[in-house]
Structure 1
Amino acid sequence: MGERILVTGATGFIGKRLVEYLLVRGFRVRIFLRPESARESGFGGRVEEFRGSYTDSEAIGRAVRDMDRVVHLAGVTKAADEKEFWEGNVVPVIRLLAALGEYNPGMKRLLLVSSLAACGPSCEGVTGIREEDAAHPVSAYGRSKLEAEILCMEASRDIPVTIVRPPAVYGPGDRDILQVFQMMQRGVLLTAGNARRQRFSMVYVDDLVQGIVAAASADASCGKRYFITSPEACSWDSLILAAKPVLGFRRLFRVALPGPLVYILGSVLEIAGTLAGKAALINRDKANELLQDFWVCSPEKAAEELGFTARTSLAEGIEKTIAWYRQKGWM
């Protein structure tokens, strides 16, 4: 029998692919779902399902009991304010660490899936930011992910912890890059800031999943952070070039919104979202993230210490992603 592994956030975009990957490789998978999650997880009887709130210490304790490893994916990427990001990304980590200390002190590894946003943008777009560089998040989301990292590293004296920081993740099931492809298909691409200068790291979801499992399994990764990313940074030009033969557009009208306009738009939508009681698609924080020139991270540490290299090229990943969208009727 394979190792027992608990996955939180298992019904999300990355979580679904991770669970399927683990099942194929013989892991015994348990998932922890919030009470408000859909009644059907989509995994049938192949996984063990536990439900509970992150404020329910006993429920979390039951979920982590007897597990060899835990992958914590659950969290929020959109929220109305700093408080909501704290409640969605920091409080669950506090509760999870407490439950592990009480109910499963002999566990082999806790793998926290954080984000490049926790570290912040890089100062240039060639080699990118490294794990040892000082963190300087530029958004409430990034600050909440960094705080979760700090809590895990502080607990690593008693609980074996590894942290992975993905950049932008794309692939079947992702709705964020879907909007970009839908624009391109209509012959328009709307960007923010200096689109000609901007560079960004990306990783195909199946590559990320392999990197997560490698980091959670390696003895050398205990107490460390890793960027799980593709070897080369992307530009908007390279993204367009990879998508063009798949989408079939002839011309693309590109509109780059200037920084001041993006900030104004973010402020207006943030106020509207606050009045409606919903997280805005773009707020001032998101505007600040969108306007950074370089969201680039280095793959070297993961390659050297985990033997991990993302093998899906941008062209291949985009082709697979768009094919999935079309199959599902999303495009």
Structure 2
Amino acid sequence: MTANSQTAPAVERPAPALPAKIFITGANGFIGRALAERARELGTEVTGVDLLPDADAGILGGSISDPSEWAAALDGVDAVIHTAAIVSNSAPLDDAWEVNTYSTRKVLAAAAEAGVGRFVHLSSVAAYGFDYPDQVDEKYPVRVNGYSYTDTKVNAEAVVMTAHAAGEIDCTVIRPGDVYGPASKPWVITSLEMIRAGQMVLPNGGRGTFTPVYIDTLVDGILLATASEAGAGQVFNLTDGHGVTCAEYFGRLGDMIDASVRTLPTSLAVALAGAVGTVQRRLGQASELTPATVHMLNRPGEYSIEKARTMLGYAPAISLDEGMRRTQEWAQREGLLTR
């Protein structure tokens, strides 16, 4: 696989009949931008909010912790897709709860007050915790585990489904797998940086499960759920439908920069990540080296997408080979492979 490999034929994507007007929180983020672009291609008017505004794209500047700054933009909106969140294993619990849980409640209330008909909430497969059966499905209980990202995503799902049960607004919860592709910060940009710096150390010989979902595939699934009346009140796992070992996924990234990925026994990897990450953060460096990250890289199995296939017609069509080819070509253009 090289950056000069022949481009594969375009993959036909689903084109659901979307609501006329969609509002996206976190609209300038990795997932938010991709959602907005695809929804506009399908003829939907898209607005949104983000810490970084984009007036030309109808994206207001503001925080989800204070919807009063932008709530007027919800007038006439048919569906809110809520992607804004702190996505970090190192964030303090209070900060993560404030954004991921309490602010989700605030956005829900603002949407309901504006008469929005549908609220689509992006949670995470992290809501299952790091100990679950292989091919776990949406009937399996979510599980807090003492780590801020997992726990606040579990809490936020409860907030969303409580609003749905109370009849405030129709809600759908999406649990994406490991979202990768061009411009993915955690699973491409940061991972490449860590591999190059020799900081990517996988536990358990790299045998933990990585469950990829290519960004376009995830976007298609989210929009299918947004368009589906039957999706109201439902939770959907969205992945590419297969898992690989962490050694394979991160090994592919390492191959892009001619670097290897090391492994350690899990107990040693946990101790090393905890110690090194703590020092880095005390020095003011951004670091996702935490025990939670190590345990996440040692997950025991895959997530079933049968429910999304059956109810939404979700059909992942981009293989890992194709997704990584596209990712490598993008990374080459961005100069990420030659630093």
Q: TM-score, normalised by structure 1?
A: 0.85
Distance of aligned partners of 1:264 and 1:248 in 2 relative to their CA distance in 1, 3 Å threshold: closer
Change (3 A) 1:281 1:243: closer
Query: What SS is found at the alignment partner of 1:162?
Result: strand
Q: Which residue identity lines up with residue 270 of structure 2 in the other structure?
A: Y
Q: Secondary structure at the match of 2:183?
A: coil
Which ranges in structure 1 are unaligned for 5 or more consecutive residues? none
Give the AA of the match of 1:89: N
**Alignment partner of 1:317 is 2:323:** yes
The percentage of counterpart residues that share the same residue type is 27
Assess if the C-alpha contact under 8 Å between 2:25 and 2:64 holds in 1. no
Q: Does 1:24 align with 2:41?
A: yes
In the TM superposition, 1:92-131 aligns within 5 A as: 92-104=103-115, 107-121=116-130, 123-125=132-134, 128-131=135-138
Q: Per-residue deviation at 1:197?
A: 3.1
Match of 1:262 in 2: 269
The residue type equivalent to 2:130 in the other structure is P
Q: 1:60 to 1:193 in 2, by over 3 A?
A: same
Amino acid at match of 2:279: A
Alignment of 1:1-331 (within 5 A): 3-34=20-51, 37=52, 41=54, 45=56, 47-78=57-88, 79-104=90-115, 107-121=116-130, 123-125=132-134, 128-138=135-145, 139-156=147-164, 157-178=167-188, 179-181=190-192, 190-195=200-205, 197-236=207-246, 238-239=248-249, 247=256, 253-272=260-279, 275-276=282-283, 280-290=287-297, 292-331=298-337
TM-score normalised over the length of structure 2? 0.83
- C-alpha change, 1:103 and 1:123, in structure 2 (3 Å) is closer
Cα deviation, residue 279, structure 1: 5.5
Question: Per the alignment, in what secondary structure is the counterpart of residue 336 of structure 2?
Answer: coil
Shift of 1:296: 1.9
Preserved CA contact (<8 Å) 2:64 2:84: no
Q: CA offset at residue 181 of structure 1?
A: 4.9
Equivalent residues of 2:49, 2:63 under 8 A apart: no
Q: What is the deviation of 1:217?
A: 0.9
Contact 2:80 2:111 in 1 (8 A): no
CA RMSD of aligned residues (A): 2.8
Which runs of no fewer than 5 residues in structure 2 stay unpaired?
1-17
SS in 2 for 1:195: helix
Per-residue deviation, residues 255-279 of structure 1 (Å, max 9, x unmatched): 2122222222233245435645665
What is the CA-CA distance between 1:329 and the residue it aligns to? 1.4
Deviations 1:66-94 (A, max 9, x none): 10010000001124311111122112211
Distance 2:103 2:140 in 1: 26
Instruction: Report if aligned partners of 1:10, 1:31 keep a CA contact under 8 Å in 2.
Output: yes
- What letter corresponds to residue 287 of structure 2 in structure 1? A
Return closer, same or farther for 1:64/1:221 CA change in 2, 3 Å cut-off.
same
**Superposed CA offset, 1:81-139 (max 9, x none):** 111111221122111111123222xx2210001100112235454xx211010112432
